[in-house]
Amino acid sequence: MTSKLYEEIPPVILAVDDDEVNLFMVGSILGKQAKVIKKSSGQEALDYLAGHSVDLVLMDYKMPVMNGLEVLQEMRRRREMDDVPVIIMTGEMDIELETEMFHSGAVDFVRKPFAPMVLKERAHRIVQNEYLKRHLQQEVVRQTQLAEQRLAASERLFDQTVLALVKTIDAKDKYTQGHSQRVADYVRLIAQRAGESPDRQRELYCMGLLHDIGKIGVPGTIINKPSRLTDEEYEIIKSHTTIGSDILKTIVEFPKLSIGARSHHERWDGRGYPDGLRETEIPLDARMIAVADAYDAMTSRRSYRDVMEQERVRTEIERGRGTQFDPRFADIMLELIDEDVDFLMQAAVLKKESLNVTIA
């Protein structure tokens, strides 16, 4: 009886014997691993069991007034104690008595005078099975709580790591800080309208947060260049999709993260990059991110232009429907724009950024 659970909540053993020496020996042998309650008669045992729960009864066979078998038979008639395991202790044993013991409901017997190791092992075997069965629900709750705590700690670490990466990405572009967070929020809004589950919404949110991680590998002078990019510089900018994908592929526990990074600049008409995918060849998640990314690009100040007006943004999304964007997700974005008559959608996201809200 040495399990960790026993140490936290020791099993309770009721020892019943009219011989004080025997009770003392039982307490000495089992008292280090269990709480031993001692009673000197069958009636005292029944009275105790009527109001207390125990994991095992060690019962002497020869006792005055009520012998061990009579006590056992009475226990089996009472609902509150009919399933308590009983080991009979006896100095007399024959086939008839052994048969009657087991017929009456005893789970085992120990010969007297008993050897300490025999008593300990037999009690351990019964208590281990019965105690764990009796306290199974408590153990399940305990293990579930431990698992939930470990999972929560792991998720917090993941969230903190992702947000640290996001801040590193956005810090490279002085004109678009907060872009990744906003894209993630817009993607989640699109996913909600598309009927995605909460788990999928969170997955897409994380993909949106990290879609531009490849910009870590692009020189800041190119990202922040206020004038038109050269063809060579544009090719370097485009490489952020493959760089990001290569970085995120190393996160084996979340393999889909790399999809958003690689494919969010693919176009519905096949004229995007890096792979020139078209229509449903483009991963579904990347199609959502593409619309969200474009919306934020147009509604944010850039090095080469100011914020576009909402009506012009709507026109551009509508124009890109079926050419740049998946029509289904373009339509959802148009719905969101039409409902946002006071242009509060971006304001709500910006407020969330200022509160430094972590991954939801």
Residue 134 has pLDDT above 70, yes or no: no
Mean pLDDT calculated for residue range 137-154: 81
In the residue annotation, 351 being an active-site residue is answered as no
Residue 341 has pLDDT above 70, yes or no: yes
pLDDT number for residue 83 = 87
pLDDT number for residue 164 = 78
Q: What is the rounded distance in angstroms from the CA atom of residue 72 to the CA atom of residue 74?
A: 5
Residues 286, 259: contact at Cβ < 8 Å? yes
Residue 352 has pLDDT above 70, yes or no: no
Backbone dihedral region for residue 356 (phi beyond 0: left; psi -120 to 50: alpha; all else: beta)? left
pLDDT number for residue 325 = 97
Residue 163 has pLDDT above 80, yes or no: no
In which band, very low, low, confident or very high, does the pLDDT at 237 lie, cut at 50, 70 and 90? very high
179, containing H or E segment: helix 179-193
Residue 83's nearest CA partner among 41, 126, 112 is 126
* Of the listed ranges 159-163, 170-174, 274-278, the one predicted with least confidence: 170-174
Above pLDDT 70, what percent of the chain?
89
Distance separating the N- and C-terminal Cα atoms of the chain: 45
Q: Which residues contact 288 (CB under 8 A, 6 or more apart)?
A: 187, 190, 191, 194, 204, 326, 329
Residue 304 has pLDDT above 60, yes or no: no
Residue 27 has pLDDT above 60, yes or no: yes
pLDDT number for residue 5 = 47
Class of the CATH-defined domain 151-354? mainly alpha
Above pLDDT 90, what percent of the chain?
51
Residue 311's nearest CA partner among 341, 286, 348, 287 is 341
Q: Which DSSP string do the residues of 69-117 spell out, in sequence order?
A: HHHHHHHHHSGGGTT--EEEEES---HHHHHHHHHHT--EEEESSPPHH
308 vs 88, residue with greater confidence = 88
Q: CA torsion sign, 344 to 350 to 353 to 354?
A: negative
Q: Which two tokens stand for residue 221?
A: 């002078």
In single-letter form, the type of residue at position 8 comes to E
pLDDT number for residue 357 = 38
Residues 326, 291: contact at Cβ < 8 Å? yes
> Which architecture does CATH list for 4-134?
3-Layer(aba) Sandwich (3.40)
Residue 48 has pLDDT above 80, yes or no: yes
Residue 211's SS3 state is coil
In which band, very low, low, confident or very high, does the pLDDT at 40 lie, cut at 50, 70 and 90? very high
Give me the catalytic one of 38, 39, 112, 215.
215
Q: How many helices (H) and strands (E) does the chain have?
A: 17, 5
Q: Largest Cα–Cα distance in the chain?
A: 106
pLDDT number for residue 141 = 80
60, containing H or E segment: strand 56-60
In which band, very low, low, confident or very high, does the pLDDT at 150 lie, cut at 50, 70 and 90? confident
pLDDT number for residue 35 = 92
CB-CB neighbours of 41 under 10 Å: 17
Question: Do strands 12-16 and 35-39 pair parallel, antiparallel, or not at all (unpaired)?
Answer: parallel
Mean pLDDT calculated for residue range 144-173: 79
Average pLDDT of the chain, as a whole number: 86
In which band, very low, low, confident or very high, does the pLDDT at 139 lie, cut at 50, 70 and 90? confident
In single-letter form, the type of residue at position 109 comes to F
Q: Could you state, in order of their start, the residue ranges of all structural domains in the chain?
A: 4-134, 151-354
Residue 295 has pLDDT above 90, yes or no: yes
Residue 356 has pLDDT above 50, yes or no: no
Q: What is the rounded distance in angstroms from the CA atom of residue 237 to the CA atom of residue 167?
A: 19
pLDDT in tens, 54-94: 989 999 999 999 999 999 999 999 988 988 999 999 888 78
Residue 274 has pLDDT above 50, yes or no: yes
Mean pLDDT calculated for residue range 200-207: 93
Structure pTM? 0.58
* Upstream peptide bond of 116 is cis (omega within 30 degrees of 0): no
Measured in whole angstroms, the distance separating CA 4 from the mean position of its chain's CA atoms is 24
Q: What is the rounded distance in angstroms from the CA atom of residue 60 to the CA atom of residue 300?
A: 85
Angle (CA) 25 29 34, round 5°: 120
Residue 318 has pLDDT above 90, yes or no: yes
